[in-house]
Amino acid sequence: MAVRDWLVPAPSAVEVVTDPRERRLIGLEIAVVLTVTLGLSALRSGLSLLDALLAPAPLSSQQVTLNAPASTDALVDLAYQLVRVLQLVGWGALGAYLLLRAGLSLRRVGLDRTRPGRDTLGSLGLAALIGIPGLGLYLAARALGIAPDVAPSTLTDVWWRTPVLVASALANSWAEEVVMIGYLLTRLRQLGWSENRSVLAAAVLRGAYHLYQGVGAFVGNAIMGLIFGRVWQRHDRLWPLIGAHALIDVVAFVGYALLPGIRF
């Protein structure tokens, strides 16, 4: 496929909703979903970055932890971690459920099991395309002093650490890709938004809820959102995006936990 063909989204099979009442309800639904899920996370993330910038210590000397202990008791901590995983699974399930309630099959957004081999290969390719440059962007941001030290995990070395980190990676990828790509882009299509406008809006929002990790994380995740969004618009397959995101997070979370001497 030529680059110019990839840059142009495939024609959408989703019909634009023209009834004014239905359009208002879809807009309200999007607002509610984002308020209780990743949109609210974006607001918190922005405030977190602002707080870090106002702190006496420079941003480059601060640390942000992605998977931190929530209790000094190991079993209570395990329960907290599993509740967080369940919350993320619920966010993704909410997006999928609302699509079903709207009369849209999950196959239409690429959540069927008809192409496991191609979806797996797509996951591996996207993980390499996003993960390696993403690490380079993070290192560049650290060198410029515009990013905190991001610790993927500070969980203690207990028996459940690795399974929980894997579950967290899977839940993160499920929630983000279903809500931000499968749900949001589909609903924006129904409102008649252009493919370019909708993918840009979703990418900016994806970057925004990573602002707590610094400006570099915003840029990197926004680029990831643009690429993932366009791939989905071209192929309407969500599993490769979920798989790629999960692979990137598993490598980051588990690798950091097992190799604690690594610091950037």
Q: pLDDT tens, 101-155?
A: 999 999 999 999 999 999 999 999 999 999 988 888 888 988 888 889 999 999 9
Over residues 44-69, mean pLDDT: 94
Query: Residue 11: left if φ>0, alpha if ψ -120 to 50, beta else—which one?
Result: beta
Query: What does pTM read for this prediction?
Result: 0.92
Q: Which residue has the tokens 């192409």?
A: 115
Q: Assess contact for 148 and 214: CB atoms under 8 A.
A: yes
pLDDT tops 60 at residue 262? no
* Span 165-204, pLDDT tens digits: 999 999 999 999 999 999 999 999 999 999 999 999 999 9
CA distance 207 to 82: 25
The H-or-E segment that residue 149 falls in is strand 149-151
Over residues 92-109, mean pLDDT: 96
Closest of 95, 81, 72 to residue 178, by C-alpha: 95
Domain boundaries, the chain: 20-258
